[in-house]
Amino acid sequence: MEPPKVFEIENLSSFYGAKQVLKKVSLPIYEKSVTSLMGPSGCGKSTLIRCLNRMNDLVGNFRMEGKILYKSKDLFSKDVDVTNLRREIGMVFQKPNPFPKSIYENIAYGLKIQGISNREYLDGVVEESLERAALWEEVKDRLRESALSLSGGQQQRLCIARALAVKPRVILFDEPCSALDPIATAKIEELITELKQNYTIAIVTHNTAQAARVSDHTAFLFLGDMIEFGTTAKMFTVPKDKRTEEYLTGKFG
């Protein structure tokens, strides 16, 4: 049986000014599984994932056509409150971007801006989020220290914990490991695999091995077109399109 779809992307085209970045892309993102958006640089995969939490709203000359349904509702409809939406759909970025505040404050920020100030509750959420992001043991004695004192991999897990703290349903990862070393990368990948039990996950990557390791479904994008979508197992063993096969075997990209 097919799992429920959290997102349904239908004929999505997007533009920065006159430049078209995505060309009629359609794919589903299934609940509590990992979907990777894979492709070489400039294929539009980051643009696509940034549509899912409407991060592109912040870009002045961004324009899109087509439709994205989130929980069967139009994501871009007028009555969607973007700030609430972004609390439900968390995001982890390419470069770790902890706030220049303490470790504790980084995690608590998302709740504090909702007006939550109950100390005990915040303490609980901070611990739980750091636990889930597999960072608690490393930082539990230094929660008041600056987040900038952490290593790159720890910073990225802190950003994951920060996203978890606001209790999202979906987490979007935009090339979360591209600034990390292999050991830190392995930790993040392990974490993603664990998180999918409770969260719906989409991850952007240009790394085919990473897509193979973490994801259940893979979409292959190339120059703004979606070339192929399917279960990761199937796409990596019997790719339907020649370009997919060439990308997977490292002929370009």
- Out of 42, 95, 245, 246, name the contact with another protein by CB under 8 A: 95
- Three-state secondary-structure class, residue 73: strand
Shortest distance, position 158 Cβ to another protein, whole Å: 11
Shortest distance, position 113 Cβ to another protein, whole Å: 5
The whole-angstrom separation of Cα 184 and Cα 181 is 5
Shortest distance, position 36 Cβ to another protein, whole Å: 19
- 11 or 84: CB nearest another protein: 84
The whole-angstrom separation of Cα 180 and Cα 234 is 29
- Out of 24, 73, 84, 238, name the contact with another protein by CB under 8 A: 84
Q: Are 25 and 48 in contact (CB under 8 A)?
A: yes
Shortest distance, position 152 Cβ to another protein, whole Å: 13
- Out of 11, 97, 118, 249, name the contact with another protein by CB under 8 A: 97
Assign 3-state DSSP to the chain and report helix, strand, coil percentages, each to 5: 40, 30, 35
- 1 or 58: CB nearest another protein: 58
- Out of 28, 39, 90, 239, name the contact with another protein by CB under 8 A: 90
Amino acid at 90: G
Note every long-range contact of 225-231, with CB atoms under 8 Å and residues 24 or more positions apart, other chains counting: 225/23, 225/24, 225/25, 226/25, 226/26, 226/27, 229/27
CA atoms 65, 71, 77, 78: torsion sign = negative
Furthest CA-CA distance within the chain: 57
Q: Is there binding between residue 110 and another protein (CB under 8 A)?
A: yes
The interface region with another protein, picked from 29-37, 88-96, 200-208, 236-244 by CB under 8 A, is 88-96
Interface of this chain with another protein, residues 194 to 233, rule: CB under 8 A? none
Interface of this chain with another protein, residues 112 to 171, rule: CB under 8 A? 113-114, 148, 159, 162-163, 166
The whole-angstrom separation of Cα 238 and Cα 14 is 30
Interface of this chain with another protein, residues 4 to 43, rule: CB under 8 A? none
> Which residues lie near another protein (CB under 8 A)?
53, 55, 58, 60, 83-87, 90-91, 93, 95, 97-101, 109-110, 113-114, 148, 159, 162-163, 166
